[in-house]
A and B are shown apart, each in its own frame.
Chain A
Amino acid sequence: MTEGSMNQNMSDDLPEELKDTVTLTTVDAAVEFLTKLIDPIANWARSNAVWPLTFGTSCCAIEMMHVGMSKFDISRFGSEVFRATPRQADLILTAGTITRKMAPALITLYEQLPEPKYVIAMGACTVTGGMFNDSYSVVQGVDRIIPVDVYLPGCPPRPEGILDALLKLQQKIRTESYNERRKRKYPQSAVRQVDYDTGRPVEDLVQETNFDTALALGLEKIQ
């Protein structure tokens, strides 16, 4: 019996007329109360120190380098260091096209980031597939494999654009509650779940997508 289930049991069993008075009896309610006090400060602190991961695949990586340099300084917004290991970062700025061969690596990186983690999909290739719209090896938008918080269009986006996306992300961090996030209350599931080794979607979703695409493209059923 974990702490979570114990809390739920206790709060469910409280009779109606006691719910107003018994405010601090459950651990869960205590945590909620404390986080209401601490949230503004904690969120302010977290939003001003978002450390990105050095994840640059292609052309957008060059603009990411430019945003790290002295003219469009990203460290004045808190992203002082770009961490090389995902264990120490809290933002993936997916800069560059994600291909099917690279998709398992990106999913592994995303899974290795500790919570709370954020993703900014940078550039047209990661937002929707971009100009590689009909290529056989490009994942059409990184939100098919990992959940995305901010979409940043452009090919490549200007460094000021990247800073704008970072500011929007900071606004988002300031208005969310970490407790809600911990309980997975935000709908942040990825659009598709993908197998780690091959980069292909898991089997129960393939049938569904086969059906749709066969209709849409007028083809006979694949496999």
Chain B
Amino acid sequence: MVTELTTSGLKTDEMIINMGPQHPATHGVLRLIVTLDGEIVKHTEPVLGHLHRAQEWQGQVRTWFQYQALIDRVDYLSGMFTSWALCRAAEDIDGTEVPEKAEWLRVLVSEMNRISSHLLWLGTYLIDLGAMFGFPFYPFRERDKLLTLFEEIAGQRMMFNYIRVGGVMREPKADWYKRVENFTKEFPDRVDEYEAIVTQNPIFLKRTKV
């Protein structure tokens, strides 16, 4: 549409706009200096560093055990993965062997964390496109169930501090597994629900299809 206007003799200019660090679409802080031609982005320069919290430097001056508390915040949506990486590194250097049940528990909670992180992606992606239900309603309902399960096993909803060097923090009670299983039983229906709302939605298709 922009090219039609230009060929009909209308002079268009490029605008340089700053999508500053605080913006509902940046999800955290990211500053984008975009060069726009109408609504088409011609060029962008991202400016990072608004959340540089000196975690590399803290990793240098802290011991392995002390850094365990900080590593959840490095990628706060997937705290289990980052703390697993730290503990695995320490175990590799040390030669520690992790009991098999702990390995399975690590896999289980990490995959639950992956699901919760992807649910957050879905929510924010949809709200970027304008679908109001994405952010406050459906995906966060499932995410909240997962966070309640994490709270039972690790004591905290988000910064778990659960995976330790040599294993995991503690073993869950027997009925925790049952609750996880209930969640997995009802989750595919939810995914179908999200898909039903999103995939055939004409607004979604128009905004994402090229």
B51 with A155: CB separation less than 8 A: no
A136 with B136: CB separation less than 8 A: no
A137 with B135: CB separation less than 8 A: no
B28 with A61: CB separation less than 8 A: yes
B28 with A135: CB separation less than 8 A: no
Residue among B50, B58, B157 with max Cβ neighbours from chain A (10 Å): B50
A156 with B28: CB separation less than 8 A: no
Query: Out of B23, B49, B141, which one reaches A101, CB within 8 Å?
Result: B49
A contacts with B, residue count (CB < 8 A)? 36
Say whether, besides A59-B159, A135-B58, A99 and B76 are in contact (CB < 8 Å).
no
Say whether, besides A57-B50, A135-B58, A84 and B23 are in contact (CB < 8 Å).
yes
A70 with B52: CB separation less than 8 A: no
Query: Out of A70, A101, A132, A134, which one reaches B137, CB within 8 Å?
Result: A70
Interface class of chain A by DSSP: loop
Question: Which A residues touch B135, using CB under 8 A?
Answer: 65, 68-69
B144 with A97: CB separation less than 8 A: no
Question: Which A residues touch B157, using CB under 8 A?
Answer: 63, 156, 158
Q: Is B24 an interface residue (CB 8 A)?
A: yes
A68 with B136: CB separation less than 8 A: yes
B53 with A135: CB separation less than 8 A: yes
Complex alpha-carbon distance, A56 and B28, angstroms: 6
Say whether, besides A62-B76, A62-B77, A131-B69, A102 and B51 are in contact (CB < 8 Å).
yes
